[in-house]
Amino acid sequence: MNPAEIENIRSQFPILAEKIYNKPLIYFDNAATTQKPQAVLDKINYGYKHLNANIHRGVHYLSQQATEAHEAARKFIAEYINASSSDEIIFTRGTTEAINLVAFSLGECTCQEGDEIVISAMEHHSNIVPWQMLCERKGLKLHIIPINEKGELLLDEYEKLLTERTKLVAVTHVSNVFGTVNPVKEIIATAHVKNIPVLIDGAQALPHLKIDVQDLDADFYVFSGHKVYAPTGIGVFYGKRAWLEKLPPYQGGGEMIQNVSFEKTTYNELPFKFEAGTPDYIGSTALAEALKYVQNIGIEKIADYEHELTEYATKRLLEIDGMRIIGTADHKSSVISFLVGEIHPYDIGMLLDKLGIAVRTGHHCAQPLIDQLGIPGTVRASFAFYNTKEEIDTFIEALKKVVAMLS
């Protein structure tokens, strides 16, 4: 992308014009959440101003309009990730809720005491804890795919973990700590040889990569809207139809039923069977709008530009004495975790903040991984397509000052 294009894009994100402590905001915390373009903000505003009525079953005009908008969003999202039908798109609050849904429903459906779930060493807490809860509830065992020193999964070890008792493999597509892009297509194919279903946590992948769930052959693919320029509180659980038909509902309530009597309740058809309660019909339309925004720029173009930013930032970071990049996989997305000498990441983050630079510090909700690495956490800079090389230069100069102060 050329500078004029980036300037034009930046002008569409109002928050990027904010000043923090009287300094221009440099927002490098995109892996935690992304900023929202005006088109998405307008969509939310328009929804509440002109389309707000509870959806489905409403006979009145507004309800029908809101229902149409919500279902059109579902259809668009299905096409965006190449699901074979919009019935396979379930709206959730985000990645975390989607994983909890699978952990509950799959747990009820296929898991017995002594069965096994396989996850990896680089999972976010949201792809660890729901499985631990299932293990506790049903007496299952959790197996962990190990990693090498670059932050890549050891695929030979992975294959050895798959047994006739493995009920699911749940792996992140992109690590939020290392930025590693995992070979999920290969991981899925390996599990499928043994008829084991696979859930892919796409929270860090969808904003940066083209996702085709049919090409991946993922059984379940989940992501959060807020990490892809949409609002918080909306996300997607994609599941293959055959699985969605087999799994029992996760929560009970309105929307998910066909018929209720005190003697017996029958459940609604897909996708509503998994959507208890009033859905976030404004969030769904805003999510579709955000994905349209990404599509208009072009995901390949975004990936190329973010790659350029990541390479540039890595090269410049390595100018700093004592710099240690945590996660040096061959295939990385736009996340850079680092440490400098013995300086605590929190101190670096605090001082950068005073200079208007937002980075994240800590364990990044991946405490077992950070513990395994024997480090106190990392500083993490993560880029989006609205970031610039000039911002990286300012960040590097600020970091040099901070390091000099703290050394």
- Nearer to ligand PLP (CB atom), residue 224 or residue 361: 224
CB of 167 to ligand PLP, least distance (A): 20
Q: Does 120 bind ligand PLP (CB under 6 A)?
A: no
| Other residues' Cβ atoms within 10 Å of the Cβ of residue 35 | 19
- Nearer to ligand PLP (CB atom), residue 94 or residue 345: 94
- Nearer to ligand PLP (CB atom), residue 63 or residue 96: 96
Q: Does 124 bind ligand PLP (CB under 6 A)?
A: yes
| C-alpha span between 79 and 100 (Å, rounded) | 25
Site string for ligand PLP, 267-296 (x = CB under 6 A): ------------------------------
Near ligand PLP by CB under 6 A: residue from 201, 219, 255, 391: 201
Near ligand PLP by CB under 6 A: residue from 30, 35, 96, 268: 96
Q: Does 30 bind ligand PLP (CB under 6 A)?
A: no
Q: Which residues contact 29 (CB under 8 A, 6 or more apart)?
A: 358, 359, 360, 380, 382
CB of 176 to ligand PLP, least distance (A): 3
CB of 174 to ligand PLP, least distance (A): 7
CB of 322 to ligand PLP, least distance (A): 27
| C-alpha span between 263 and 273 (Å, rounded) | 19
Strand stretches in 30-150, DSSP E: 89-92, 116-120, 141-145
- Nearer to ligand PLP (CB atom), residue 16 or residue 228: 228
Q: Does 337 bind ligand PLP (CB under 6 A)?
A: no
Tell me the β-bridge partners of 401: none
Near ligand PLP by CB under 6 A: residue from 34, 35, 100, 176: 176
Q: Does 224 bind ligand PLP (CB under 6 A)?
A: yes
DSSP state of 225: G
Q: Does 172 bind ligand PLP (CB under 6 A)?
A: yes
| Other residues' Cβ atoms within 10 Å of the Cβ of residue 109 | 12
| C-alpha span between 366 and 31 (Å, rounded) | 13
| C-alpha span between 154 and 374 (Å, rounded) | 19
Element (H, E) at 223: strand 220-224
Cβ contact 227:334 at 8 Å: no
DSSP state of 60: S
- Nearer to ligand PLP (CB atom), residue 365 or residue 381: 365
Site residues (CB under 6 A) for ligand PLP, limited to 342-381: 365
Total of chain residues touching ligand PLP, rule CB under 6 A: 14
DSSP for 269-320? PTTGGG--SS--HHHHHHHHHHHHHHHHH-HHHHHHHHHHHHHHHHHHHTTS
Catalytic residue ranges: 365
Q: Does 151 bind ligand PLP (CB under 6 A)?
A: no
Closest-CA residue to 329 (of 314, 309, 348): 314
Burial (0-12, 13-18, 19+ Cβ within 10 Å), 6: middle
Q: Which residues bind to ligand PLP, rule: CB under 6 A?
A: 94-96, 124, 126-127, 172, 176, 201, 203-204, 224, 226, 365
